């Protein structure tokens, strides 16, 4: 099986995981980037305050998202782009937490996704002083990108995984996770149930 996955990155308006204000997604097929997508998201009421700290990080302001659709309208597009792929993110707990929390706040079922953390893969692939996305991406040969632009960050994440797979001679994302001993996580009721039936309850702890 080929190296297939979708890399994803969110930027948020504040510390709330329900405050996503932009998303970037990069589709990888057979170890090559074949598609990209990114858009603004309007955070929901109660989670829509843009903190100055966050604005300094990503440069997104309330005026940028004023005309954007909210999470409920955009989740189907996100799911359609991923098209059943495992997701990959740098510090994946954050990004998958955005999906889970945003869906819950919007009154939606959490979508089913399996995912792998590129931060953890990088820790088991490179010997670096830091494993922050720009540093790990540089080790993978992906440099000079606009860090904290969601689409650029997703592409950097994809580059890390592609390079790591080459270094470990892994043909698939699952094989790379196995070689690096990185857990494949899951969110959503169906994915969680299937994962438990395959790997046992301890796999979810």
Provide the residue-wise pLDDT of the chain in tens; the chain has 205 residues: 699 999 999 999 999 999 999 999 999 999 999 999 999 999 999 999 999 999 999 999 999 999 999 999 999 999 999 999 999 999 999 999 999 999 999 999 999 999 999 999 999 999 999 999 999 999 999 988 889 899 999 999 999 999 999 999 999 999 999 999 999 999 998 777 877 777 665 444 3
Query: Please, which residues have CB within 8 angstroms of residue 199's CB and are 6 or more apart in sequence?
Result: none
The predicted structure's pLDDT at residue 131: 98
Where would I find the beta strands (DSSP E) of the chain?
A: 5-12, 20-29, 32-40, 87-89, 113-117, 185-187
Q: CATH number of the domain that 158 lies in?
A: 3.30.420.10
Q: Enumerate helices (H) and strands (E) in the chain, giving the number of each.
A: 9, 6
Q: For 85, what's the count of Cα atoms within 13 Å in the CB-facing half-sphere? A: 25
Q: For 20, what's the count of Cα atoms within 13 Å in the CB-facing half-sphere? A: 32
The predicted structure's pLDDT at residue 190: 79
The predicted structure's pLDDT at residue 204: 42
Quote the pTM value: 0.92
Say how far apart CA 125 and CA 106 lie, in whole Å.
38
3-state SS, residue 196 = helix
Exposure string over 150-188, b if 16+ CB within 10 A, otherwise e: bbbbbbbbbbbbbbbbeebebebbbebbebbebebbbbb
Q: Is 33 exposed, middle or buried (0-12, 13-18, 19+ CB in 10 A)?
A: middle
The token pair at 56 is 């300094």
The predicted structure's pLDDT at residue 191: 74
Domain with 130, as residue range(s), is 5-204
Query: Domain total for the chain?
Result: 1
């Amino acid at each position: 099986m080929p190296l297939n996955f979708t890399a994803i990155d969110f930027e948020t308006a504040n510390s709330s995981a329900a405050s996503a204000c932009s998303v970037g997604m990069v589709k990888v097929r057979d170890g090559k980037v074949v598609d990209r997508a990114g858009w603004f998201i309007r955070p929901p009421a109660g989670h829509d305050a843009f903190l100055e700290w966050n604005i300094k990080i990503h440069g997104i302001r309330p005026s940028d998202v004023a005309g954007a659709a909210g999470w409920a309208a955009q989740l189907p597009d996100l799911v359609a782009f991923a098209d059943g792929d495992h997701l990959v993110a740098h510090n994946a707990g954050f990004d998958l937490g955005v999906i889970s929390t945003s869906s819950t706040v919007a009154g939606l079922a959490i979508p089913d996704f399996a995912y792998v953390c590129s931060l953890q893969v990088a820790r088991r692939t490179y010997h670096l002083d830091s494993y922050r996305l720009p540093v790990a991406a540089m080790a993978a040969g992906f440099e000079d990108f606009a860090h904290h632009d969601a689409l650029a960050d997703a592409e950097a994440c994809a580059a890390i995984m592609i390079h790591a797979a080459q270094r470990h001679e892994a043909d698939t994302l699952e094989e790379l996770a196995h070689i690096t001993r990185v857990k494949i996580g899951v969110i959503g009721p169906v994915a969680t149930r299937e994962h438990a039936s395959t790997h046992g309850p301890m796999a979810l702890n």
